[in-house]
């Protein structure tokens, strides 16, 4: 029997993972901060849970109906690395940021 943990995402990661909480086992949508936001995880949940894929079912239901074990579902995507900005103080002691 597989041991499920409370799902978490790494910084900058958006993920869908099967795990446990006080409510029991279910598919969870996680964002790890550092650029990944709750709006991003809500978008992911919308795709898996709410979007009708043409037959009155969402993606999660369709996969289960086709014989896939939803408890093994894992989806993860990392945010692209953004180039760091140059931060410096000019002659007037003003902070400037060059991108």
Q: Find the length of the chain.
A: 99
CA distance 5 to 34: 22
How do the domains of the chain map onto residue ranges? 1-80
Burial of 36 (0-12, 13-18, 19+ CB in 10 A): buried
Q: Is residue 95 predicted with pLDDT exceeding 60?
A: no
Ramachandran bin of 48, using left for φ above 0, alpha for ψ from -120 to 50, beta for the remaining angles: alpha
Task: Summarize the confidence of residues 61-88 as an average pLDDT.
Answer: 80
Q: Is residue 39 predicted with pLDDT exceeding 70?
A: yes
| pLDDT tier for residue 82 given thresholds of 50, 70 and 90 | low
Reduced to 3 states (helix: H, G, I; strand: E, B; else coil), residue 31 is: strand
Q: Is residue 99 predicted with pLDDT exceeding 70?
A: no
CA distance 89 to 77: 36
Closest to 48 in 3D by CA, of 30, 67, 32, 63: 63
pLDDT tens, position by position, 18-28 = 887 677 778 88
Q: Model-level pTM?
A: 0.64
């Amino acid at each position: 029997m597989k041991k499920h943990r409370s799902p978490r995402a790494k910084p900058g990661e958006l993920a869908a993972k099967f795990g446990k909480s006080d409510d029991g086992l279910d598919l969870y949508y996680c964002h790890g901060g550092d650029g990944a936001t709750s709006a991003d995880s809500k978008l992911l949940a919308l795709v898996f849970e709410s979007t009708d894929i043409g037959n009155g079912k969402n993606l999660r239901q369709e996969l289960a109906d086709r014989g896939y074990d939803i408890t093994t579902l894992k989806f993860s995507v990392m945010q692209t690395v953004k180039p760091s900005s140059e931060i410096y103080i000019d002659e007037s002691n003003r902070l400037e940021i060059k991108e």
